[in-house]
Amino acid sequence: MEEGRPLTVHTLNELLLVCSLVLLVAVAAVRVSSRSGLPSLLIYLGIGVAIGQDGIGNVVFDNAELTQVIGYAALVVILAEGGLGTKWKEIRPALPAAIMLSLVGVAISVGVTAAGAHYLVGLEWRQALLIGAVVSSTDAAAVFSVLRKVPLPSRITGVLEAESGFNDAPVVILVVAFSTVGPVDDWYVLLGKIALELAIGAAIGLAVGFLGAYGLRHVALPASGLYPIAVMAIAIVAYAAGAMAHGSGFLAVYLAAMLLGNAKLPHWPATRGFADGLGWIAQIGMFVLLGLLVTPHELVRDFWPAVVIGLVLTMVARPLEVFLSLLPFRIPWQEQVLMSWAGLRGAVPIILATIPMVSGIEGSDRVFNIVFVLVVVYTLVQGPTLPWLARKLDLGRGMETASDLGIESAPLEKLRGHLLSFAIPPASRMHGVEVSELRLPPGASVTLVVRDGKSFVPAPTTVLRHGDELLVVATDPVRDAAEARLRAVARGGKLAGWLGTGNGSASH
């Protein structure tokens, strides 16, 4: 290649080569992200911009269609990973509020933001509506990456997490509708399409998730390494089935993954780690690719329009969305303020901004540039200030800090039992509890303890300590009760169940 000549990327093979070269750098950047408190998307986007056009790598990439395809695939993996990590007991009380934010809130956000883009920036209505719809999707990964050190009430985390999993579906439908060549459907037609696609996606996601969880719990696979693959495959099947049935594939994959994640599947810690790794790879590849797609010198003219639209979104649309959507739930104003400021935008808006580019909508390049700048600027502003705001609003004080157990279950098919293994984490209240005080149900017992590299069979009076690794054998009928009891003791100590801190159904 001649000196100074740009490297042009057009094909998937060339793109994979470029992405693989920066993967190790991006993985190393995870540590920088965790220390700085900034969402990792900024670092990965920066890597893409740095090696792209106008950057040190001078790589030219302009294939919006390929970006959209890979972005959709990455979103499926990210939503699956997010659903697997969603705890049903935490989001169940928050579901009504999250659904209101995902439906009514999205409509408010789209309308207010589009009005600001039209009247303040001068965009035509189609472009304004596209921007309003694109930036109405929040990103839980961005939110919790900066809140991970601030314990918050489960109602806040539950609402934000469920909202981010649910609002992608209606937003995608709106963006596709606004990106269709020709007149946009009437509002009541759009509302009907959204309701139908969400209903189809929810039904398929719940069905696939239930059937997949039932199958994995009752069929012992020949190797433990197959369980993570099977779980991710089931989640992806939910997306494909939902999309093929003209429903919301994104809602389907999230709900299916959430059911799988709460089904107490065999070898769960290994499955969770596998999904987490895939999620990181998907995020890294997607963000780097989006950084490659943007042309930095074209962002200058759209910087101030993006700032103005971002102000409308952050200071007017999001607070109004939260206030009106949560009005029936009597949520304290402090929590509403934090939820308003925690409406971080991540990869989804940038990926959705490629849809009008692929459709050939006039002004779509400018829409992409405005969305890109808006996401970067307001993530820089909101991300580092979220923990500070949570502390100022006094929302992190007195929260439960005891760690949950990462219990791994291996089915013993011929013995009709299960082998449960786990390590007692540093913050667990199982520390100091005697084996007999675990009060496991009949048919379950602690068979082995590994402490400081040495294993021994415990006596009923053996006192458990932080860092101990335990093996518990449970018969098939009491497997769930034994796991529930172990988790209850880890959270509430030896009196769990008697003090309302866990499952008290175990025999005393």
Q: Which residues have C-beta within 8 Å of that of residue 137, sequence separation ≥ 6? A: 164, 167, 168, 171, 345, 348, 349, 352
Identify the DSSP state of 219. Answer: S
Say if CB 483 and CB 438 are below 8 A apart.
Answer: no
For residues 263 and 338, the answer to whether their CB atoms sit within 8 Å is no
* 3-state SS assignment for residue 473: strand
3-state secondary structure of 59: strand
Contact (CB, 8 A) for 125 and 63 = no
Give one DSSP letter per residue of 25-38, joined into a string.
HHHHHHHHHHHHT-
Q: Rounded distance, CA 444 to CA 484, Å?
A: 12
pLDDT of 364 reads 87
Report CA torsion sign: 403, 491, 468, 406. negative
Distance CA 221, CA 493 (A): 35
Query: SS3 for 260?
Result: helix
| C-alpha span between 153 and 47 (Å, rounded) | 35
List of residues 6+ apart from 336 with CB closer than 8 A = 319, 322, 323, 326
**Whole-number Å distance between alpha carbons of 289 and 452:** 45
The radius of gyration of the chain from alpha carbons, rounded to an integer in Å, stands at 24
For 503, the token pair is 């499952």
pLDDT of residue 36: 54
The answer to whether 436 and 485 have CB atoms below 8 angstroms apart is: no
Q: What is the dihedral of CA 139, 278, 53, 345, to 10 degrees?
A: 0
Residues in the chain: 508
Q: From first to last of its 508 residues, what are the pLDDT tens digits of the chain?
A: 444 445 555 555 665 665 566 566 656 666 555 555 556 677 778 877 887 777 776 777 778 888 888 888 988 998 898 888 888 887 888 889 988 998 899 999 999 999 999 999 999 999 999 999 999 988 766 665 665 556 677 778 888 888 887 888 888 888 988 888 667 667 778 788 888 988 999 999 999 999 999 988 887 777 778 889 999 999 999 999 999 998 889 899 999 999 998 887 887 778 888 888 888 888 887 888 888 888 888 888 899 999 999 999 999 999 999 999 999 988 889 989 999 998 888 778 888 888 998 888 888 889 999 999 999 898 888 877 887 888 888 876 544 444 556 666 666 655 677 888 888 888 788 888 999 888 898 989 998 899 988 889 999 889 999 889 888 988 888 888 888 888 888 888 877 765 444 444 433 3
- Interatomic CA distance for residues 240 and 166, integer angstroms: 17
* Gap between the Cα atoms of 483 and 378, Å rounded: 43
pLDDT at 507: 36
Quick one: tokens of 190? Answer: 């759009």
The dihedral through the CA atoms of 281, 285, 290, 292 has a sign that is positive
List helix spans (H) across 413-507.
479-492
Write down the pLDDT at residue 133: 93
Q: Quick check: 409 and 216 in contact, CB under 8 A? A: no
